Amino acid sequence: MLSLEYCIEHAPELAQEIVNEWGRVTSTGNAGTLTSDFKLLSEQACQYQAVKRDTDYRREAYTRSSKDRATDKELQAFLEQDAAKDRAEREVFAKAYKKFRDAHEVS
């Protein structure tokens, strides 16, 4: 059984695994075999990836546009907001992933 801490730490990789599995199954014409809980987890993985991509892009853009990163209070506020948003979405996905894995773990 995976720990929640592990799922949070490895959320980007776990989300990509879910997206890859969804793609593999649907590309073979077997989308009908996906369970509703897997489809929900796939949606959450995509949502997490979208938020992460957006916050990464914004962080890079903010950093490039700042003349003095160390004293730019507006930049720091944006970075803190984005980091909080990323952490929250990461945790939502990680909890959903753990719940799914725990429910489908073969003993």
Each domain of the chain, given as residue ranges in start order, spans 4-104
Average pLDDT over residues 28-52: 94
Task: Give the contacts of 84 (CB within 8 A, at least 6 positions apart).
Answer: none
pTM as predicted: 0.85
101 token code pair:
């894995």
Give the residue among 102, 70, 88 at the shortest CA–CA distance from 2.
102
CB atoms within 10 A of CB 81: 12
Q: How far apart are CA 88 and CA 69, in angstroms?
A: 24
Average pLDDT over residues 13-42: 93
pLDDT band at 17 (very low <50, low <70, confident <90, very high): very high
What pLDDT is attached to residue 82? 86
R_g (Cα) of the chain, nearest Å: 17
